[in-house]
Each structure stands twice: as structure tokens, then as C-alpha cells.
């Protein structure tokens, strides 16, 4: 094995652990790769020039390894009151919820679905922003339809809330080795979700009685993309965990067909 191949193997091992390349440059027949760490110094790998290095620099593997944020639309869906249910009800509820959500987003350009216990993070490509409100409303419609169809038979209703933000995030490899996302897009979507009123009377007005709330950045991205079939009603400026979110907006369809049932 050549020195170039051996050093590339070292680099690939670090990348497989989730590290990213923040900087690289070629000098004197050697390419220097800088990988940030939390230790006293950044990790540095020095790879001599040669065909293996040239092939690596042109590969998708290397493009994916670069430390650069991506712009995405993120929706966080949280089931309300889930932990207060008995274990067997929790299981039945989560299975039904997942089936309904998968069916609702079939065909949607979802970049990633991330399960977070009783909720789900939806990551959409920036190119799909125009269609995101419609997909989220389809999820709303599916869950509300389940409640309308089966609540009378004694089945527990599913209460939910969604927070939406459009912003930046980093792609990284999580502890299971799967592609995942971290950054303000995910964090702010979660914080916006906590602004959704738990009951109609808490909303303060019919225009704010929605299970979907969006950040100002998301509202602006949707309107800039030409979304016209939904309206975004200003719910005011919100502060969550000491951080000011700015204004958040209740998203509703201009023709309301289904009113979600809430606990």
C-alpha cells in the first residue's frame, strides 16, 4: 500500500466517524486536510499527491465530507399528551400515527425522516420549499381524519402540533452511522412547535387556531416561493427558553376542510 493510500485510509476512517473537512489545500505535492475537533488541536491529515488522491478529490464521497451548511425546510411534529397514556395505548398510537404520516407524505420530496420518540422531524430540500405547506397540510388532514373516523368508537384521539423553520443545518453521521441533521433549522423548528396553542381557546382568535406554526423565515420562504393557497396569521413575537424567536405565524388553508380535534 502506498503512502497516499495509507493516509487516505486514515482520512476515510475519520470521515466514517462523522468528522468533516473544514479546509484543504495542496502545497508542495501534498494535500493538507483540516478536520475540526473539540480537542486541543484540529485533526490534520497529509496526503501525498497521486492518482488515488485525484480520484478522491473528484468523488461524491469527498463532496459529502466537506463542512458546509445546507439550506433546508424543517418541520417538527410532536404528539401532545403522549407520555400520559398507558404503555399499550402509546404503542397503538405511535404505530397508527406512523402509518398515517407515511401515507400522507408518499411521493413528497422528503430528504430525511427522523424519529424522535413520539414525534418526527421532516427535512425537505430547499428546492421543495414551494410544496412543503401542502405536504404538511396533508399530514394534518390524515391525522384529523383518523380522529373524526374513530374517536366515536373509543379509540384515543391523536393530538399534535407542528413547528416549521427554513434555515441552515449541517449533515452529519449520527451514533447509528445514519445521515442526520444538526443546526438552527432543526432547533428553531422545535422551538416554534412549542408556540402552537394546545386548545382553541388558548389561540385567542380563530385565525390563530392551527396545529401548524411557522417561523418568520419559513413564512418568507413560502411566500417568496409563490405559496398562495395558505395564509399565515401573525401570532406575535415569541420567546422560548430565553431565546427570542421573532414573530411566528399560524398556517391555515384558505378553505378549511377539516378541523383537527384536540384534547
What digits encode the pLDDT tens for the residues 37-51? 888 888 999 999 999
Identify the pLDDT of residue 93: 84
Residue 21's pLDDT is what?
94
Residue 40: what pLDDT?
A: 81
Handedness of CA 56, 58, 59, 63 (dihedral sign): positive
For residues 196 and 161, the answer to whether their CB atoms sit within 8 Å is yes
Q: Quick one: angle between helices 87-104 and 132-150, nearest 10?
A: 140
Nearest CA among 17, 250, 223 for reference residue 137: 250
For position 261, what pLDDT does the model report? 45
Instruction: Give the pLDDT score at 39.
Output: 82
**pLDDT of 115:** 86
As a whole number of angstroms, the distance between CA 82 and CA 35 comes to: 41
Mean pLDDT, residues 207-215 taken together: 90
Average pLDDT over residues 178-184: 89
Altogether, the residues listed in the chain come to a count of 263
Q: DSSP 3-state assignment of 82?
A: helix
Lowest pLDDT segment from 18-27, 83-92, 118-127: 83-92
Look at residue 126 in the predicted model and tell me its pLDDT: 87
Q: Grid coordinates representing 85?
A: 397514556
Give 206's pLDDT tier (boundaries 50, 70, 90).
confident
List CB contacts of 217: < 8 A, sequence separation 6 or more. 165, 166, 167, 188
Q: Given the C-alpha cell 408518499, which residue does it identify? A: 106
Task: Answer left, alpha or beta for residue 249, where phi above 0 means left and psi between -120 and 50 means alpha.
Answer: beta
Pull the grid cell for residue 244: 427570542
CB atoms within 10 A of CB 45: 21
What does pLDDT average to over the chain?
87
**Res. 258: pLDDT tops 70:** no
pLDDT tens for 69-85 read 999 999 999 888 888 88
CB atoms inside a 10 Å sphere around CB 255: 6
Q: What pLDDT is attached to residue 263?
A: 43
Please give the CATH topology (third level) of the domain spanning 70-253. Alpha-Beta Plaits (3.30.70)
What is the structure's pLDDT at 255? 64
**What is the mean predicted confidence (pLDDT) over 15-39?**
91
pLDDT tens digits, one per residue of 219-250 = 999 999 999 999 999 999 887 776 678 899 99
Say if residue 155's pLDDT is above 50.
yes
Sheet holding 43-48, edge to edge: 23-27, 30-35, 43-48
CA separation for the pair 153, 8 (Å, rounded): 61
What ranges do the domains of the chain cover? 3-65, 70-253
Average of per-residue pLDDT across 105-114: 88
Q: Taking 80 as the threshold, does the pLDDT of residue 259 lie above it?
A: no
Cα distances (angstroms) measured from residue 154 to each of 149, 159, 259, 262: 10, 15, 19, 15
Instruction: Write out the three cell numbers for 231.
Output: 395564509
pLDDT at 105 over 60: yes
pTM for this model (two decimals): 0.84
Amino acid at each position: 500500500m502506498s503512502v497516499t493510500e495509507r493516509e487516505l485510509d486514515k482520512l476515510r476512517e475519520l470521515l466514517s466517524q462523522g468528522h468533516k473537512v473544514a479546509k484543504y489545500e495542496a502545497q508542495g505535492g501534498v494535500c493538507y486536510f483540516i478536520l475540526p475537533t473539540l480537542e486541543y488541536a484540529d485533526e490534520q491529515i497529509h496526503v501525498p499527491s497521486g492518482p488515488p488522491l485525484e480520484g478522491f478529490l473528484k468523488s461524491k464521497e469527498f463532496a459529502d465530507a466537506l463542512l458546509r451548511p445546507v439550506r433546508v425546510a424543517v418541520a417538527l411534529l410532536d404528539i401532545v399528551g403522549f407520555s400520559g397514556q398507558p404503555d399499550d395505548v402509546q404503542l397503538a398510537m405511535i404505530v397508527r400515527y406512523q402509518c398515517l404520516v407515511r401515507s400522507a407524505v408518499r411521493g413528497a420530496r422528503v430528504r430525511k425522516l427522523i424519529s424522535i420518540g413520539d414525534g418526527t422531524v421532516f427535512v425537505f430540500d430547499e428546492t421543495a420549499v414551494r410544496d412543503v405547506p401542502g405536504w404538511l397540510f396533508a399530514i394534518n388532514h390524515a391525522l384529523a381524519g383518523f380522529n373524526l373516523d374513530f374517536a366515536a368508537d373509543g379509540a384515543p384521539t391523536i393530538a399534535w402540533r407542528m413547528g416549521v423553520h427554513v434555515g441552515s443545518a449541517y449533515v452529519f453521521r449520527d451514533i447509528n452511522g445514519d445521515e442526520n441533521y444538526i443546526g438552527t433549522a432543526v432547533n428553531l423548528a422545535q422551538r416554534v412547535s412549542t408556540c402552537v396553542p394546545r386548545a382553541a381557546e388558548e389561540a385567542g382568535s380563530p385565525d390563530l387556531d392551527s396545529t401548524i406554526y411557522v417561523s418568520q423565515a419559513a413564512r418568507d420562504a413560502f411566500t417568496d416561493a409563490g405559496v398562495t393557497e395558505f395564509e399565515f396569521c401573525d401570532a406575535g413575537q415569541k420567546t422560548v427558553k430565553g431565546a427570542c424567536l421573532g414573530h411566528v405565524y399560524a398556517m391555515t388553508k384558505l378553505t378549511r376542510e377539516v378541523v383537527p380535534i384536540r384534547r
